[in-house]
């Protein structure tokens, strides 16, 4: 079986690993248009905060890791097109400008996304940056160390925007986050939690300009400010983290695309072209919690999708459909650490699913534990009002309770109810937790029990 993979990031890497591991004799080639294989944007904050050995170590894999297993990795090779009838791709070697064709039995698209520019006047000015990939990581690092950069505006209060804001605040810059939504991280966390986090930003020299729409970037050649209806916010540097564009323009007419450009996939992650599969940020995966297709831009999702595709790649029709993803993810915001999975109020509304929420707060350990970092913990559970099936949740504390979210993800995947979670046999040890574990207590509270 000859397989061509497009894109050497999470989806492409996992596809190659699975093929070389599970399909003896598979002929595997990854084509990657970038010159560096394979920068790990997930580790960009760690690089910017000097927590890694070096920028070139922040990567998923080195070409030789795949080549030593028998695969081929071709960087600086852009796939321009494919012909589903001839089972051929047209590839351009970006170093030599030579164009050639290669054949495949199966083709896997993991072409990902690119940060979207804002379509407002001045968006192309100098010092308007994006936070994805190795080249931007190096440029951002330089600006962190530049004393002429005093005011940084971050556009977008999602995970990437918050990471950027924290990095610059820690580097001593004055930071403003602008977003059109009303709550920082409001697409990931429900209001009970965003209300706890909002003052944390202010305390750390980050202003929040929420509910504001950007009308222009000011300045001559370089940006000097960001204009909203409320005036101009000074900016020596702007980081735009307000959405992405799928890398699929070249696929128009070759496979069916969603209205926003993502690759349309069926229940088996097959595209509309025969023997062509798609994974990663460039698709709209099925949400386990809502039963609908929705954007989930996570490395963890790309890898699950790739694993499923390769497990079934030699079957005409797999016996099981792709189960879907939950968007399980985590982030720290200065001292706070949170994690979420499944539906929150924003994603539930977007998917047209009605959820009931229950917010629970307690101390990590019994209150008599006074000297061992005992602190507040917060849990939000979202569930179906009639069946009590758990559909989503969030956990947060200054103590690291994020691993609880994996239990919750499993609970959603297996269809557990509040009643199941309220009585699940989790451990108690007063050095770690309460007499009931955190998720037991949160589920009991959601059922209206008070203790
Ligand atoms: P991408 O990573 O987008 O890569 C696509 C690749 O395809 C690119 O290398 C591109 O050059 C190549 N390509 C595109 N078109 C062609 C073509 N025609 N020919 C050849 N090559 C092509 N996710 C998490 O799960 N956890 C995290 O902590 C996390 N943190 C993140 C932090 C930041 C700052 C960012 C930006 C993202 C983060 N993510 C995180 C998201 C994660 O990086 C993405 O979900 C993941 O990279 C998606 O992988 P992918 O394979 O779909 O595509």
78 lines ligand 1 (CB under 6 A): yes
197 C-alpha vs ligand 1 centroid, how far in Å?
28
CA Rg value for the chain? 23
Check residue 370 and give its pLDDT. 84
Question: Is 430 a residue whose pLDDT tops 90?
Answer: no
| Residue 160 CA, closest ligand 1 atom number | 34
Q: What is the ipTM of this complex?
A: 0.98
pLDDT top residue among 451 and 12:
12
Check residue 371 and give its pLDDT. 75
pLDDT digits (tens, 9 = 90+) for 281-305: 999 999 999 999 999 999 999 999 9
CB 379 within 8 A of CB 395: yes
pLDDT digits (tens, 9 = 90+) for 193-234: 999 999 999 999 999 999 999 999 999 999 999 999 999 999
**CA distance to 15, 265, 302, 363, per residue, from 106 (Å):** 12, 15, 18, 53
364 C-alpha vs ligand 1 centroid, how far in Å?
36
Token output for 284 = 């709209």
12 lines ligand 1 (CB under 6 A): yes
Residue to mutate (ligand 1; options 63, 78, 112; most atoms within 8 A of CB): 112
- Rounded mean pLDDT of 91-95? 98
280 C-alpha vs ligand 1 centroid, how far in Å?
8
| Residue 12 CA, closest ligand 1 atom number | 51
Check residue 368 and give its pLDDT. 87
Check residue 425 and give its pLDDT. 97
**Whose alpha carbon is nearest atom 46 of ligand 1?**
299
137 lines ligand 1 (CB under 6 A): no
Question: Is 451 a residue whose pLDDT tops 80?
Answer: no
Residue to mutate (ligand 1; options 6, 10, 79, 332; most atoms within 8 A of CB): 10
10 C-alpha vs ligand 1 centroid, how far in Å?
6
Percent of the chain with pLDDT over 70: 100
- Rounded mean pLDDT of 54-82? 96
Token output for 149 = 């950069």
Token output for 315 = 């079957």
| Residue 282 CA, closest ligand 1 atom number | 52
131 lines ligand 1 (CB under 6 A): yes
Check residue 372 and give its pLDDT. 74
pLDDT top residue among 371 and 129:
129
Is the sign of the CA dihedral 142, 144, 149, 155 positive or negative?
positive
33 lines ligand 1 (CB under 6 A): yes
Token output for 340 = 């979420």
Question: Is 360 a residue whose pLDDT tops 90?
Answer: yes
161 lines ligand 1 (CB under 6 A): no
Check residue 450 and give its pLDDT. 79
Active-site positions? 10, 42
Confidence of residue 366 (pLDDT cuts 50, 70, 90): confident
345 lines ligand 1 (CB under 6 A): no
Check residue 197 and give its pLDDT. 98
281 C-alpha vs ligand 1 centroid, how far in Å?
7
Q: What DSSP letter does each residue of 144-213 carry, written as one string?
A: HT-TT--EEEEE--SHHHHHHHHHHHHTT-EEEEEESSSSTTTTTS-HHHHHHHHHHHHHTTEEEEES--
Check residue 267 and give its pLDDT. 96
Nearest alpha-carbon partner for 16 in 85, 83, 67, 51: 67
Average of per-residue pLDDT values in the chain = 96
pTM, two decimals, is 0.95
Q: How far apart are CA 316 and CA 301, in angstroms?
A: 24
302 lines ligand 1 (CB under 6 A): yes
44 lines ligand 1 (CB under 6 A): yes
pLDDT digits (tens, 9 = 90+) for 232-286: 999 999 999 999 999 999 999 999 999 999 999 999 999 999 999 999 999 999 9
Number of neighbours of residue 280 by Cβ within 10 angstroms? 31
Nearest alpha-carbon partner for 347 in 286, 295, 422, 404: 295
Partners of 341 in beta bridges = 393
| Residue 79 CA, closest ligand 1 atom number | 19
């Amino acid at each position: 079986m000859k397989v061509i993979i497009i894109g050497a990031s999470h989806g492409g890497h996992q596809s190659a690993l699975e093929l070389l591991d599970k399909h003896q004799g598979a002929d595997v080639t990854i084509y990657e248009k970038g010159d560096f294989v394979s920068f790990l944007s997930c580790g960009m904050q760690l690089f910017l905060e000097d927590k890694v050995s070096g920028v070139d170590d922040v990567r998923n894999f080195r070409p030789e890791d795949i080549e030593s297993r028998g695969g081929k990795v071709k960087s600086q090779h852009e796939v321009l097109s494919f012909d589903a009838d001839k089972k051929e791709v047209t590839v351009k070697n970006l170093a030599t400008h030579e164009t050639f064709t290669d054949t495949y039995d199966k083709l896997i698209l993991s072409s990902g996304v690119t940060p979207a520019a804002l379509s407002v006047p001045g968006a192309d000015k100098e010092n308007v940056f994006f936070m994805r990939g190795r080249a931007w990581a190096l440029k951002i690092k330089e600006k962190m160390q530049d004393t002429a950069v005093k005011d940084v505006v971050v556009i977008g209060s999602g995970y990437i925007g918050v990471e950027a804001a924290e990095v610059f605040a820690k580097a001593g810059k004055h930071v403003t986050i602008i977003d059109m939504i009303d709550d920082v991280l409001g697409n990931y966390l429900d209001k009970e939690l965003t209300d706890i986090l909002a003052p944390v930003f202010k305390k750390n020299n980050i202003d929040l300009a929420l509910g504001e729409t950007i009308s222009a970037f000011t300045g001559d050649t370089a940006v000097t400010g960001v204009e909203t209806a409320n005036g101009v916010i000074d900016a020596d540097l702007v980081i735009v983290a307000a959405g992405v564009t799928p890398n699929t323009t070249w696929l128009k007419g070759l496979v069916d695309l969603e209205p926003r450009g993502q690759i349309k996939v069926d229940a088996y992650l097959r595209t509309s072209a025969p023997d062509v599969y798609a994974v990663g940020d460039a698709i709209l995966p099925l949400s386990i919690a809502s039963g609908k297709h929705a954007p989930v831009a996570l490395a963890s999702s790309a890898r699950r999708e790739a694993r499923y595709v390769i497990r079934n790649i030699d079957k005409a029709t797999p016996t099981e459909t792709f189960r879907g993803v939950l968007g399980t993810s985590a982030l720290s915001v200065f001292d706070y650490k949170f994690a979420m999975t499944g539906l929150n109020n924003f994603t539930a509304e977007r998917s047209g699913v009605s959820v009931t929420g229950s917010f629970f707060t307690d101390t990590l350990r019994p209150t008599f534990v006074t000297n061992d970092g005992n602190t507040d913990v917060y849990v939000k559970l979202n569930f179906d009002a009639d069946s009590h099936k758990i559909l989503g949740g969030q956990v947060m504390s200054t103590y690291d309770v994020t691993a609880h979210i994996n239990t919750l993800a499993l609970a959603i995947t297996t269809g557990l109810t509040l009643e199941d979670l309220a009585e699940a046999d989790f451990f108690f040890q007063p050095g770690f937790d309460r007499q009931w574990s955190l998720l037991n207590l949160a589920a009991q509270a959601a059922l209206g029990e008070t203790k």
